Structure 1
């Protein structure tokens, strides 16, 4: 079974126990590490058995994959942001985005009527803004808490945009599993995923030490802060308000004619 996730501290944190053999299983698991937009596009081709996926991307693969009720990345009080060298009006500007199918990009499309999207890897966006290759940049992952170290300012907070309109937590990423995998194996992987997350939450320092290999220059305290932002009670088991939030996100996007609302199929 090929299980794909991102080279980010939060994914490393939640997958630590699985990768290190702390959680036992009859499944033979091979781990693949790629950035989230690469995984989104690989999922479109159905190449991965289990993968981290942007919630946005699920709209295009609901016929191939089911959502796992464990492993979601959910913002509650925080989320993607747009930064620039100075405060500015964003309509019509060139904005670097971390992938066409990221949830952050979908949120930006809901928040702005018109902008020129410049697609690039998420870890190149801050430098692109600093070098003025773009007017602003849409940040995911640790950039949300490190941007001020680069003398950038927050121009748009997409968590605030979302919460003001919905009052719900912000679903950004999920883990999905291929529909054609036998049901017993799907449920066994879900059990392993939950046990891995539980181990990390109960052994934070141990899991953070592993996650440091994906720190990208952050110190241990920042890695811990970032990882525990997105690996939390929502991650262990998806509550009904996160399901409602995904429904709302897709409804808003369909109303704007961005995509067709998919049918949510979640394995609990």
Structure 2
């Protein structure tokens, strides 16, 4: 194994929490970790075009374009329950169930190769008569202001927006995670850690798990690092974010985790949203 490895992950609290120990040389025997912080849409693109580093955090929705070069790791990612993306509007609470109002409307999404986007499209196929109008891709941090200011009719948001959207005067039209769990009984597959196939992926997984154990055993150790990369979040929101997205699935996907990933990608392939994959490549 090389003396150094390169990784790209987001500045979100769950990623910086999980990788803090490894990024700071606190994982015995692990190579130095060189970190690039990047939005999920960027890392999805790097995985798809083959120009990415040895390790990447991507959306599960981007896996079909990456599995020929990268292997899905069984740890380090974000998958769980009660942690799905939200579809937000500026309309008042009285419009909370008016999904038909989305017909032909403009909806902002953080990436067209994101789990959030797949869940949104699968939900809309069932729930929005006439279909959505225009899909507009924009950086995650611009979506809520755009909905608030009326530039966009609705916005699909992830991560910390779950805790902050009311401060923008926005309302939740649907919790797509709750819809997915009710519809399938499975957890929500959000973000995956992938490693180039020529690496010793068992060793990489071991280093990630050691880094995660260090974070759980020493919850204050990563605080400064987490907050320095989540500058717009209060310490309490950052903690809530970590508590929600870093869980048992982060340590090991397990059978229900793999089942959720397969269900998402199979459904999406059935709708023509992603290429079909060989499920054997997921392990």
Q: Please give the TM-score of this superposition, normalised by the length of structure 1.
A: 0.94
Listed one character per residue, the Cα deviations across residues 82-133 of structure 1 (whole Å, up to 9, x for unaligned) are 1111134223211110011111011111111322211000011011111111
Listed one character per residue, the Cα deviations across residues 16-75 of structure 1 (whole Å, up to 9, x for unaligned) are 111111112252431111111100001112222110010000011111111001112013
Q: 1:78 aligns with which of 74, 83, 90?
A: 83
Q: How does 1:19-168 map to 2 (within 5 A)?
A: 19-47=23-51, 48-86=53-91, 87=95, 88=98, 89-113=101-125, 114-115=131-132, 116-168=134-186
Distance of 1:261 and 1:204 partners within structure 2: 40
Q: How many residues align?
A: 264
Deviation, structure 1 residue 180: 2.4
Distance of 1:168 and 1:208 partners within structure 2: 31
Taking only aligned residues, the RMSD between alpha carbons, in angstroms, comes to 1.4
2:11 touches 2:230 (CA, 8 Å); kept in 1? no
Distance of 1:263 and 1:177 partners within structure 2: 18
Distance of 2:35 and 2:163 partners within structure 1: 28
Q: Please give the TM-score of this superposition, normalised by the length of structure 2.
A: 0.89
Listed one character per residue, the Cα deviations across residues 160-180 of structure 1 (whole Å, up to 9, x for unaligned) are 210111001001111001112
Deviation, structure 1 residue 77: 1.6
Describe the SS at the equivalent of 1:206. Answer: coil
Describe the SS at the equivalent of 2:240. Answer: helix
Deviation, structure 1 residue 198: 1.1
Listed one character per residue, the Cα deviations across residues 179-230 of structure 1 (whole Å, up to 9, x for unaligned) are 123xxx3222111111111111222222233211122422111100101211
Equivalent in the alignment of 1:241: 256
Distance of 1:195 and 1:91 partners within structure 2: 47
Q: 2:247 aligns with which of 222, 229, 232?
A: 232
Gaps of 5+ in 2: 126-130
Listed one character per residue, the Cα deviations across residues 122-167 of structure 1 (whole Å, up to 9, x for unaligned) are 0110111111110010001211211011111000110121011100
Deviation, structure 1 residue 257: 2.0
Q: 1:194 aligns with which of 193, 202, 209?
A: 209
Distance of 1:71 and 1:225 partners within structure 2: 18
